[in-house]
Copies of this chain bind each other. A is one copy, B any other.
Amino acid sequence: MGEEAKVFGTWASPFSRRVELALRLKGVPSLLLKYNPVYKKVPVLLHNGKPITESLVILEYIEETWKNNPIWPEDPYGKAMARFWAKFIDDKWSPESEREKAMEEACECLKALESALNGNKFYGGHTIGLVDIAANFIGFWLSIVQEATGRELLSAHKFPLLFNWSHDFVNCGIVQECLPPKDKVLAIFKARVAAPSN
């Protein structure tokens, strides 16, 4: 499958970590490189000298290039549902906004994601798939945002299934290898909360 994959990303970004996690699930060795200003966005996957941007587009490329350990369901309808939910997460979710309306929207989003689990451990069923990877910031970053802001969105009481999912997700060995240090991310969010808003 050609040369080693290089990922230009930032260590704290959930979008960069999506790409890293997908590559790790495929067993593809990858180098995480610091943001290269040639590319205006992160993450960028550089493979065989060709750059790809947009984390969901990169995940599709990874699935098609390395066929082992499929991240997508096999049937076209299952694939469509996975793509729908991955897009849903990116379109609807705004975790860092403080406005009341955004909080309400975030609650609606979590409600929909709770029901989309359909009684499975992961969105991918028994194993981690596209939607789990796309939801990584709900699994890991959200609890940090909650700690930094003192606002609770995802609790065992309000969304028991999704809460369990987030627990299972962050405790999955391969996921843990692709998460940044919690204390450092928390420090970033606490500093943001303390900064005067504009």
List A residues at the B interface (Cβ < 8 Å). Answer: 47-48, 50, 52-54, 56-58, 60-61, 64-65, 76-77, 79-81, 83-84, 87
Contact = CB atoms under 8 A, between A and B. Distances in A.
A77 B76 CA distance: 21
For the complex formed by this chain, how many copies does it contain in all? 2
A87 B52 contact: no
Contact of A80 (B61, B77, B83, B84): B61
Contact of A57 (B52, B57, B80): B80
Nearest to A61: B80
A80 to B, nearest CB: 4
B87 A61 contact: no
Contacts of A76: 61, 64-65
